[in-house]
């Protein structure tokens, strides 16, 4: 079981989530990054259910609009929700409040359950918006957008390098794993497994450091003087303005709902 | 391991973000463009490591390896882990956007502490002794990480205290596994390519 999980996750080619083209792809990358960050800020700092549920609803709309592959998206969200399930199990017992039911003289409270549900809704809303607005662009576009948003240059460079080499390293890793499997190595809970995985990891480190040296030599050969140049001109067009204005007015509505909730 | 959005209180989120930003700033200062390929490739290795799931009884755990990363990269672990976590959030949905600061701090600060703690030991001439220091670093980093996760949860509200108390015992098996794996990894590097450990840090 653990093996199938492992392989579904290591195969990442640094590409955007699989999806059909939609109007969201036409919107400027910077606008999408800024909008989803603001969305996360507003939703996470909300106190009541109305704005967060509205946010979740908006997230669903965006997922629909960006034509994400529903099955893949769900798989990612479910992975997180399994974690949330433990939270939903624990929080009712640890939060004082009106009793819902009692198990072994432990009382589950409604307040705790609501709190756990609120966290679940928030986390899901933020993730879905991220998936539909940001994960639909390729990772290198994201890097360029961040660079245009004045994120430190070195950080962006690091990200671009990582995006490029994740796939290479994961192939290297799979190759070594296949070689181990060919020699009938099976993962178990024992010291032999841990030792072998440790050796695998050490070898992976050595090979990748050697690869890094080759990369950097090859890049210097081609006149790399320490930095990439971002040649793409990102221009804000009218559709970007419209999207940004609509999105931000929606966020202001959410903030307004929060303030109303505070005074009740 | 990854804390999700919405769980932590805002003071914890903000202080985590500020401290991580300081760490990332120091890390970026220490890293020049010449080291970029090396750091990028190493960060990718640790990204891949977090997808190696080892069976543990009926469930499985994944490696974190922040101890070894710290030993190799030092302060540069901060930017490397920030980028890795950002990519994980956006493309896999692990963790959350606003807790990125806290999550980075929880994983990168132990890495830096281990760097100072095990720097000398791992560079010992005897592979056995170096490997033992590697194991201490691997297990120790997980221990500190678990402590910090528990701390962040406990500070966020009374109702999380139980969850915080559960974090530490839950990480003990990971500590043991990570200790053994780090031992083997350092031992191998020492026998195969001893110059790597002394060189990788500068």
The pLDDT value recorded for residue A223 is 84
Q: Which of B45, B53, B60 is nearest to A6 (CA)?
A: B53
Q: In this complex, do B63 and A197 lie within 8 Å of one another by their Cβ atoms?
A: yes
Counting residues of chain B whose pLDDT is more than 70, the rounded percentage is 96
Q: What angle do CA A167, A173, A179 make, to 5 degrees?
A: 140
Shortest alpha-carbon distance between residue B112 and chain A (Å): 18
Nearest to B171 by CA among B105, B82, B110: B110
Q: How confident is the model at residue B75 (pLDDT cuts 50, 70, 90)?
A: very high
DSSP string, B45-89: HHHHHTT-EEEETTEEEE---HHHHHHHHGGGHHHHHHHHHHHHH
Average pLDDT, whole number, for chain A?
Answer: 81
Average the pLDDT over A164-173 and give the result: 86
| 3-class secondary-structure state, position A68 | strand
What percentage of chain B reaches a pLDDT higher than 90? 39
pLDDT at B184: 94
* B172 located within any domain: yes
A99 φ/ψ angles, rounded to the nearest 5 degrees: -70, 135
Say if residue B22's pLDDT is above 90: yes
Angstrom distances, CA of residue A2 to CA of A89, A170, A186, A188, B56 = 24, 17, 11, 11, 10
* B3 occurs within a structural domain: no
Identify any residues that bridge with B173 across adjacent strands, giving them in sequence order: none
Total domains present in chain B:
1
- B2 in a structural domain: no
3-class SS of residue A106: strand
| CA A146 – CA A130 distance, rounded (Å) | 15
Crossing angle for the helix pair A29-44 and A139-148, nearest 10 degrees? 80
Q: How far apart are the C-alpha atoms of B115 and A39, rounded to whole Å?
A: 37
> Distance (Å, rounded) from C-alpha B134 to C-alpha A133?
41
Q: Does B174 touch chain A (CB under 8 A)?
A: no
Residue A179 C-alpha from the chain's centroid:
31
Range of the domain at B136: 10-199
Q: What is the pLDDT of residue A87?
A: 73
Neighboring chain A residues of B5 at a CB cutoff of 8 Å:
40, 44, 122-123, 126-127
Rg of chain B taking only CA atoms, in angstroms:
16
CA-to-CA dists, residue B128 to A165, A193, A203, B190, angstroms: 32, 19, 17, 9
Please give the average per-residue pLDDT across A94-119, as a whole number. 76
Residue B1 lies in a domain: no
With an 8 Å Cβ cutoff, are A157 and B158 in contact? no
CB atoms within 10 A of CB B32: 10
- How far separated are the first and last CA of chain B, in Å rounded? 30
Average pLDDT over residues B9-22: 92
Comparing A27 with B19, the larger pLDDT belongs to: B19
Residue A161: its pLDDT value, please?
A: 85
Q: Which residue is it, tokens 């769900």?
A: A74
- Averaged over A210-239, what is the pLDDT? 81
Q: Given an 8 Å threshold on Cβ–Cβ distance, is A161 in contact with B189?
A: no
Query: What is the model's pLDDT at position A1?
Result: 31
- CA A182 to chain B, closest CA, distance in angstroms equals 18
The residue-averaged pLDDT of A173-191 equals 90
pLDDT at A34: 93
**Do the Cβ atoms of A1 and B60 come within 8 Å?**
yes
**pLDDT of the residue at B178:** 92
Q: Is A72 left (phi over 0), alpha (psi -120 to 50) or beta?
A: alpha
**Residue contact B42–A123, C-beta within 8 A:** no
Mean pLDDT, rounded, for A172-192: 90
Range from A104-113, A233-242, B13-22, B69-78 carrying the lowest mean pLDDT: A104-113
* End-to-end C-alpha distance for chain A, whole angstroms: 50
Question: Residue A74: its pLDDT value, please?
Answer: 81
Q: Which residue did the predictor score with more confidence, A12 or A129? A: A129
Is residue B198 over pLDDT 90?
no
Question: What CATH number corresponds to the domain at position B95?
Answer: 1.10.1760.20
Q: What is the pLDDT of residue A116?
A: 86
CA atoms within 13 A on the CB side of B63: 29
User: Among A85-94, A127-136, A225-234, B60-69, which stretch is predicted with the lowest mean pLDDT?
Assistant: A225-234
Q: For residue A261, what pLDDT is reported?
A: 58
Which of chain B's residues have a Cβ under 8 Å away from the Cβ of A227? 33
pLDDT over 80 (residue A108): no
Cα radius of gyration (chain A): 23
Q: What local confidence, expressed as pLDDT, does residue B202 receive? A: 42
Q: What is the pLDDT of residue B48?
A: 86
**% of chain A residues with pLDDT over 90:** 19
- List all residues of chain B from 65 to 104 with a beta carbon under 8 Å from chain A: 65, 68, 72, 79-80, 82-84, 86-87, 89-94, 96-98
pLDDT tens, residue by residue, B95-120: 788 899 999 999 999 999 999 998 88
B95 lies in some domain: yes
* CA gap A218, A228 in Å, rounded: 15
Residue that is written with structure tokens 């997808």 in the block: B51
Minimal-distance CA residue of chain A relative to B193: A206
DSSP designation for A249: H
Q: Is the pLDDT of residue A11 over 80?
A: no
Instruction: Kindly tell me if the per-residue pLDDT of B71 is higher than 70.
Output: yes
Q: Is residue A100's pLDDT more than 90?
A: no
| ipTM of predicted complex | 0.88
CA dist B10 and B17 (Å) reads: 10
Token reading at B84 = 């890795």
Instruction: Please name the member of B49, B55, B97 whose beta carbon is closest to the beta carbon of A40.
Output: B97
- pLDDT, chain B, mean: 87
Per-residue confidence (pLDDT) for residue B199, from 0 to 100: 52
| Range with top average pLDDT, A10-14, A63-67, A112-116, B133-137 | B133-137
Residue A13: pLDDT band (50, 70, 90) is very low
Q: What single-letter DSSP state applies at residue A236?
A: -
Q: How far apart are CA B4 and CA B95, in angstroms?
A: 5
- Which DSSP state fits A234? P
Asked if B116 reaches chain A (Cβ–Cβ under 8 Å), the answer is no
Query: Is residue B87 a contact partner of residue A162, using CB atoms and an 8 Å limit?
Result: yes
Residue B158 has pLDDT above 60, yes or no: yes
Cβ atoms B81, B104 nearer than 8 A: yes
Residue A263 has pLDDT above 60, yes or no: no
Quick one: average pLDDT of A34-52? 89
Tokens of A163: 């995006």
Question: Where is B119: in which H helix or E strand?
Answer: helix B100-122
* Inter-chain touch B185–A134, beta carbons under 8 Å: no
């Amino acid at each position: 079981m653990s093996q199938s999980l492992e392989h579904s996750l290591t195969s990442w080619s640094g590409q955007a989530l699989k999806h059909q083209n939609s109007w969201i792809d036409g919107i400027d990358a910077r606008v999408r990054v800024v909008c989803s960050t603001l969305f996360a800020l507003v939703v996470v700092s909300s106190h009541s259910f109305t704005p967060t549920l509205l946010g979740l609803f908006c997230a669903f709309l965006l997922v629909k609009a960006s034509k994400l592959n529903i099955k893949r998206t769900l798989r990612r969200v479910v992975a997180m929700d399994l974690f949330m399930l433990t939270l939903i199990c624990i929080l009712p017992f640890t939060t004082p409040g009106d009793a819902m039911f009692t198990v072994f003289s432990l009382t589950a409270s409604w307040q705790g359950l609501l709190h756990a549900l609120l966290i679940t809704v928030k986390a899901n809303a933020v993730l879905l918006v991220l998936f539909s607005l940001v994960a639909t662009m390729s990772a290198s576009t994201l890097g360029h957008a961040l660079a245009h948003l004045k994120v430190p240059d070195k950080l962006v460079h690091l990200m671009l390098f990582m995006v490029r080499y994740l796939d290479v390293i994961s192939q290297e890793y799979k190759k070594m794993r296949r070689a181990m499997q060919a020699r009938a190595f099976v993962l178990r809970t024992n010291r032999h497994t841990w030792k072998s995985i440790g050796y695998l990891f050490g070898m992976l480190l050595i090979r990748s450091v050697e690869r890094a040296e080759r990369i950097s030599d090859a890049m210097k050969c081609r006149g790399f003087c320490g930095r990439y140049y971002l040649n793409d001109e990102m221009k804000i067009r009218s559709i970007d303005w419209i999207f940004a204005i609509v999105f931000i007015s929606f966020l202001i509505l959410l903030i307004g709902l929060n303030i109303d909730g505070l005074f009740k | 391991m990854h804390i999700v959005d919405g769980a932590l209180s805002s003071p914890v989120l903000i202080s985590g973000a500020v401290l991580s930003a300081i760490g990332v700033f120091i890390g970026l200062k220490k890293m020049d463009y010449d080291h970029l390929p090396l750091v990028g490739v190493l960060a990718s290795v640790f990204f891949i490591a977090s997808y190696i799931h080892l069976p543990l009884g009926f469930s499985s755990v994944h490696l974190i390896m922040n101890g070894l990363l710290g030993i190799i990269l030092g302060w540069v672990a901060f930017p490397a882990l920030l980028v890795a976590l950002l990519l994980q959030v956006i493309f896999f949905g692990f963790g959350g956007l606003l807790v990125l600061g806290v999550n980075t701090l929880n994983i990168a600060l132990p890495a830096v502490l281990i760097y100072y703690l095990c720097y000398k030991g791992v560079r010992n001439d005897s592979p056995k002794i170096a490997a033992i220091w590697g194991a201490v670093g691997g297990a120790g980093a997980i221990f500190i990480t678990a402590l910090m996760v528990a701390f962040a949860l406990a500070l966020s509200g009374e109702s999380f205290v139980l969850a915080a108390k559960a974090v530490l015992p839950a990480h003990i098996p990971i500590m043991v596994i990570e200790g053994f794996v780090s031992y083997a990894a350092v031992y191998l590097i020492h026998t195969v390519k001893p110059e790597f450990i002394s060189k990788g840090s500068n």
